[in-house]
Structure 1
Amino acid sequence: MSVSQCKLNVPVEHYLATQLTLEQFEEKFLRPGHPVVLQGVLPNLPLSKWTMEYLSKTVGNNEVNVRGKTDQADYKTGKSYTIRQTTFQEYVDDLKRKTHRGTTSYMAVQNISKTFPQLQEECILPNIIGKIHNSPFLWVGHKGHYEYCHYDPDASMLMMIEGEKQARLFSCSDHENLYPNPLGSKGKTIQSQVDCDNPNMNKFPKFANATCHYCTLHAGDMLFIPAFWWHQITSLTDSVSANAFFGDSGVDKYISRILEPPVYTAFKHWLTNVIEQNRSFASFERTLERLHLCVENLILKQFHEVAQESHIKTLVAEILLFLGLEKLPEFKGGGKHPPPIKIRGLRWR
Structure 2
Amino acid sequence: MSRVERSGALRFGKRPESPEEAANPTDTMALRLLDAGLTVRRVPRAAASDLGALRRTVDRRSGPLLCTGLLDSWPARTAWTPKSLAKRHGAQRVTALMDLPSTGVLFPQDQRRYECELGFAEFVERMVSAEPSAPCYVAYQRAHEIFDTADCDFASLLPPDGRPTDTRVWIGSAGTRSMLHSDLKDNFFCQLWGEKSVTLVDWRDSRAAYPFPGNLVNSQVDLAAPDMCRFPRLAGAVLYHVRMGPGDLLYIPRGWWHDIRAETPSVSVNHWFGRPLGLARYLALLGILGPVYWKATARDFFVHGVLRRAEPTRFFFSPPSTGKRLYDALRSGDFSRGNDPSAP
TM-score with structure 1 setting the length: 0.69
* Matched residue, 1:150: 181
Establish whether residue 127 from structure 1 lines up as the match of residue 156 from structure 2.
yes
Segment of structure 1 superposing worse, 28-37 or 212-221: 28-37
> Shift in Å at residue 280 of structure 1?
2.3
Residue type matched to 2:44 in 1?
E
Residue type matched to 2:153 in 1?
I
* Matched residue, 1:86: 118
> Shift in Å at residue 166 of structure 1?
1.1
Residue type matched to 2:167 in 1?
P
Which residue of 181, 191, 198 maps to 2:225? 198
Separation (CA, whole Å) in 1 of partners of 2:86 and 2:327: 51
8 Å CA contact 1:159–1:221 kept in 2: the answer is yes
8 Å CA contact 2:165–2:271 kept in 1: the answer is yes
Establish whether residue 280 from structure 1 lines up as the match of residue 303 from structure 2.
yes
Per-residue CA distance 1:93-129 (angstroms, 9 max, x = gap): 11222268x9332221110122x1x423434225233
Establish whether residue 59 from structure 1 lines up as the match of residue 86 from structure 2.
no
- SS for the counterpart of 2:67 is strand
* Matched residue, 2:257: 230
Structure 1 segment 296-315 matched on structure 2, within 5 A: 298=334
Which residue of 285, 293, 303 maps to 1:265? 285
Separation (CA, whole Å) in 2 of partners of 1:191 and 1:289: 19
Establish whether residue 244 from structure 1 lines up as the match of residue 271 from structure 2.
yes
> What is the alpha-carbon root mean square deviation over aligned residues?
3.7
- SS for the counterpart of 1:231 is strand
Separation (CA, whole Å) in 2 of partners of 1:172 and 1:12: 15
Size of the alignment, in residue pairs?
285
Separation (CA, whole Å) in 2 of partners of 1:274 and 1:112: 33
> Shift in Å at residue 19 of structure 1?
3.0
Residue type matched to 1:36 in 2?
L
User: Alpha carbons of 1:123 and 1:40: their partners in 2 closer, same or farther (altered >3 Å)?
Assistant: closer
8 Å CA contact 2:189–2:252 kept in 1: the answer is yes
8 Å CA contact 1:6–1:211 kept in 2: the answer is no
* Matched residue, 1:179: 210
8 Å CA contact 2:67–2:249 kept in 1: the answer is yes
Structure 1 segment 33-44 matched on structure 2, within 5 A: 33-44=62-73
Which residue of 44, 47, 60 maps to 2:76? 47
> Shift in Å at residue 158 of structure 1?
0.6
8 Å CA contact 1:66–1:105 kept in 2: the answer is yes
Unaligned runs of 5+ in 1: 249-253, 303-340
> Shift in Å at residue 77 of structure 1?
4.3
8 Å CA contact 2:130–2:136 kept in 1: the answer is no
Separation (CA, whole Å) in 2 of partners of 1:282 and 1:236: 39
Residue type matched to 2:91 in 1?
N
Separation (CA, whole Å) in 1 of partners of 2:270 and 2:297: 23
Higher helix share: 1
8 Å CA contact 2:305–2:328 kept in 1: the answer is no
> Shift in Å at residue 226 of structure 1?
0.8
Establish whether residue 110 from structure 1 lines up as the match of residue 141 from structure 2.
yes
8 Å CA contact 1:167–1:232 kept in 2: the answer is yes
> Shift in Å at residue 134 of structure 1?
3.7
* Matched residue, 1:71: 101
Q: Percent identity?
A: 22
8 Å CA contact 1:259–1:267 kept in 2: the answer is no
TM-score with structure 2 setting the length: 0.70
